[in-house]
């Protein structure tokens, strides 16, 4: 997968050299480039913002540098390596919620382009113009407001990268974790069996795989019901058996 990120703070992305994302880059599974939006400014102050039309507080990112950046990173002509137009992702608290389902959707794309807003956000015409040429998604991390899109991109990229084939040593873990099947994961334990007077539940030490699976399912249902009733309500009824309903 190829990923381009445009930001006025390219330094924010230093952590993408670390851990499994860094390894995915080193292995060529992820080809990532970070671009400074100010590269596409032409005044001495390298200005990227201006006051909002209609008044109001704060500043808005001007369309010209964004337009040039997107022209350069998503050219209409096919690039020599045959890349198609990217999918443009614009972090925004006014976007659609980012979910594990969207992470899977994005992991199937060949080229993602992230546009990191700052100040009050990006002039709407940048998104409207881009949408005439490529798919554009405004995406929100959650119902709160950050200073800029950079942290959101780090989160989205980490969630997407771990879904890329070959990135996780044990791909089976993807199938058992929270949000894989509409539930939160059951509690986890490791050695020692007893620690500070707290014992690992007997069932997990029993070696009885059917009992362990049932215990994990019950715990996952109980946790999800307590913490995320919205997820329980969204479960397709046919995925629940008699024991699930009792739990």
Provide the annotated binding site for S-adenosyl-L-methionine: 117, 141-146
Q: Say how many C-beta atoms besides its own lie within 10 A of residue 64's C-beta.
A: 15
Using CB under 6 A, pick the residue from 81, 144, 169, 210 that binds ligand SAM.
144
Q: Rule CB under 6 A: say whether 140 interacts with ligand SAM.
A: yes
Do the strands 111-115 and 136-140 form a parallel or antiparallel pair, or are they unpaired? Answer: unpaired
CA distance 72 to 37: 11
CB-based contact 48:37 (threshold 8 Å): yes
The residues facing 198 across adjacent strands are 195
Residue with the two structure tokens 């007077």: 197
Contact window for ligand SAM (CB under 6 A) among 13-21, 81-89, 135-143, 163-171: 135-143
Nearest distance in Å: CB 99, ligand SAM: 13
Instruction: Give yes or no for residue 135 binding ligand SAM (CB under 6 A).
Output: no
Phi/psi at 134 (5° precision): -155, 160
What are the E-state strand segments in the chain?
2-7, 31-36, 49-50, 60-61, 87-97, 111-115, 136-140, 194-195, 198-199
Quick one: which of 142, 166, 187, 222 contacts ligand SAM (CB under 6 A)? 142
Compose the 150-169 pattern: x for residues touching ligand SAM by CB under 6 A, - for all others.
--x-----------------
Nearer to ligand SAM, 102 or 235 (CB): 102
Q: Nearest CA to 22 among 116, 158, 130?
A: 158
Q: What angle do CA 156, 157, 158 make, to 5 degrees?
A: 95
Please give the residues from 71 up to 100 whose contact with ligand SAM meets the rule CB under 6 A: 91-94
Measured between its terminal Cα atoms, the distance across the chain in Å is 41
Query: Which residue number has the CB closest to ligand SAM?
Result: 117
Q: Is the Cβ of residue 29 or residue 146 nearer to ligand SAM in the bound state? A: 146
Query: Does the protein bind ligand SAM through residue 65 (CB under 6 A)?
Result: no
Q: Least distance (Å) from ligand SAM to the CB of residue 189?
A: 34
- Least Cβ distance, residue 8 to ligand SAM (angstroms): 11
Binding to ligand SAM by residue 137, rule CB under 6 A? no
Task: Note the residues at the interface with ligand SAM (CB under 6 A).
Answer: 91-94, 116-118, 120-121, 140-142, 144-149, 152
């Amino acid at each position: 997968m190829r990923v381009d990120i445009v930001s006025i703070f390219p330094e924010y992305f230093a952590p993408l050299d670390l851990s499994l994302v860094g390894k995915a880059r080193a292995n060529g599974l992820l080809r990532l480039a970070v671009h400074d939006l100010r590269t596409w400014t032409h005044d001495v102050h390298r200005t990227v913002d201006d006051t909002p039309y209609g008044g109001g507080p704060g500043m808005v990112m001007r369309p010209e540098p964004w337009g040039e950046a997107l022209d350069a990173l998503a050219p209409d002509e096919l690039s020599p390596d045959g890349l198609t137009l990217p999918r443009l992702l614009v972090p925004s608290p006014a976007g659609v919620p980012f979910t594990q389902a969207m992470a899977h959707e994005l992991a199937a794309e060949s080229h993602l382009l992230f546009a990191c807003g700052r100040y009050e956000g990006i002039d709407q015409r940048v998104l409207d113009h881009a949408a005439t040429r490529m798919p554009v998604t405004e995406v929100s991390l959650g119902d709160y407001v950050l200073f800029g899109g950079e942290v959101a991109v780090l989160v989205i990229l980490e969630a997407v990268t771990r879904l890329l084939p070959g990135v996780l040593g044990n791909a089976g873990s993807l199938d058992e974790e929270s949000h894989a099947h509409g539930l939160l994961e059951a509690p986890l334990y490791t050695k020692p069996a007893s620690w500070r007077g707290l014992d690992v539940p007997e069932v997990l030490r029993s070696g009885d795989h059917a009992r362990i699976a049932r215990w994990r399912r019950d715990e996952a249902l109980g946790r999800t019901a307590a913490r995320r009733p919205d997820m329980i309500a969204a479960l397709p009824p046919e995925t629940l058996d008699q024991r699930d309903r009792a739990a």
